[in-house]
Amino acid sequence: MKSVIRQGLFVTLMSSSIILISCEKKDANVRSGDSGNLVNITTEGYQQEIIDSANRFAFDLFKPVLADAKGTENIMISPFSITSALSMTLNGAAGETFEAMKKTLGLEGKTLVQINKTYLKLMTEMIPVDKSVVLDIANSVWVDKQLNVKQPFITDLQTFYKGEARDIDVTDPDAVNIVNDWIALKTQDKITEMLDKFDPGAAMLLINAVYFSGKWRYKFDKTDTKEEPFYVTPSDPKTVPMMHQIHNFKAVRNNSFTIVDIPYGQGNYTMVVVLPDKNMTNSDVANSLTLSLWQEWMGLLADNSVFLSIPRFKYNYKRLLNKDLIDLGMSIAFTTQADFSNISDQSLVITKILHQSFIDTNEEG
């Protein structure tokens, strides 16, 4: 009887800000350079379908995360970071594990080459599109000495995800610090303590890091910032520093909520804020979200003079995504039935998918 040791595949994700719909539009008109000329970012049909699937997955994942929030807890996820790391992992999956992960991501009918080429395009074309913001995307794969990895897997991550391949000894007492230092470097020291230990049997880590730094196109005047109530719920105000300005923004209001689109830099990237009316809760709005509804809302945005008041805030959020992804359909990847034979002939199973995000919003950006 052959004894099989199941080794751990640990996927970790982090982001210093939120990247969502605004950076993934088909034929998106974006301003480039001081002249304000428009540049079209075009995608192939299959690439737009993969982008739409990623955005659909984002809303699917957001709902259980929100449902699990305690009281008035803040939550924050970076769907681009999550789908990037899962797509890297998909390159190592086979059989039922591969199909389950593809289905969870909404990528049925798409080939691995199509998926990889789409993420390569997003990585290479999102970064330089607006020189007035900083967007860095870093991927890496860390392999313990006990694991014999197939070279095609490493090559694909290097080719399509610009991933760094690193060797690591998880039994080294300094191994956690080595990984955390890499993450801190790639996130400009915004995330510094992602890991606290390695689980027994850890064999590989796949890491995606996203760093976004954008100055508001229309900055807030610090002298207008005042301590005022922010209503976490209609009956639960908190006194916070509120920033104010009056300007023309793309916005829309109906009887349930108000939406405003706040641009960074030259307008290529934006923060979309949805404010429920008193008769609606955050959960009411979030649970109604679908990709088609979001696209409908974005189509309703129009130039309006807006008196904008938003809080100045800084927030860090960490979450283990295992249960969320199991509930969405990829449970086999966490079990002894997992098949990651395109990574190694040694048995592997995902032990942990950890996500951390950080945001700092002030008068500058």
User: What is the percent of the chain with per-residue pLDDT over 90, rounded to a whole number?
Assistant: 41
Beta-carbon contacts of 134 under 8 Å, excluding residues fewer than 6 positions away, are 211, 212, 213, 214
pLDDT, tens only, 141-194: 889 888 899 999 999 999 999 999 999 888 888 988 999 999 889 888 888 888
The residue-averaged pLDDT of 209-216 equals: 86
All structural domains of the chain with their residue ranges? 7-215+314-361, 222-312
Lowest mean pLDDT: which of 53-57, 109-113, 330-334, 357-361?
357-361
pLDDT, tens only, 217-273: 999 999 999 999 988 777 788 899 999 999 999 999 988 889 999 998 888 888 999
> Quick check: 50 pLDDT over 70?
yes
Higher pLDDT, 62 or 72: 62
Question: Per CATH, the architecture of 7-215+314-361 is what?
Answer: 2-Layer Sandwich (3.30)
- CATH 3.50.50.60 describes domain 222-312: no
C-alpha 131/C-alpha 134 separation (Å) is 7
- Pick from 2-6, 90-94, 146-150, 344-348 the range whose average pLDDT is largest: 90-94
> Quick check: 10 pLDDT over 60?
no
pLDDT of 40 reads 59
The residue-averaged pLDDT of 299-305 equals: 94
What are the helix (H) ranges across the chain?
Answer: 45-67, 79-90, 95-104, 112-126, 151-160, 175-186, 282-287, 291-300, 322-325
Lowest mean pLDDT: which of 88-92, 166-170, 329-333?
166-170
pLDDT, tens only, 271-295: 999 888 877 777 788 888 888 998 9
Q: Which of 320, 219, 337, 327 is nearest to 11 (CA)?
A: 320
pLDDT of 256 reads 83
User: What is the percent of the chain with per-residue pLDDT over 70, rounded to a whole number?
Assistant: 89
The residue-averaged pLDDT of 79-92 equals: 92
Q: Output the pTM of the full model.
A: 0.85
Asked if 219 and 308 count as a contact pair (C-beta separation under 8 A), the reply is: no
Residue 98 pLDDT class (50, 70, 90 cuts): very high
CA angle 253, 254, 258 (to 5 degrees): 40
Asked if 270 and 53 count as a contact pair (C-beta separation under 8 A), the reply is: no
Give the length of the chain. 365
The residue-averaged pLDDT of 329-354 equals: 92
SS3 229: strand
Residue 314 pLDDT class (50, 70, 90 cuts): confident
Here the tokens at position 279 are 């008769």
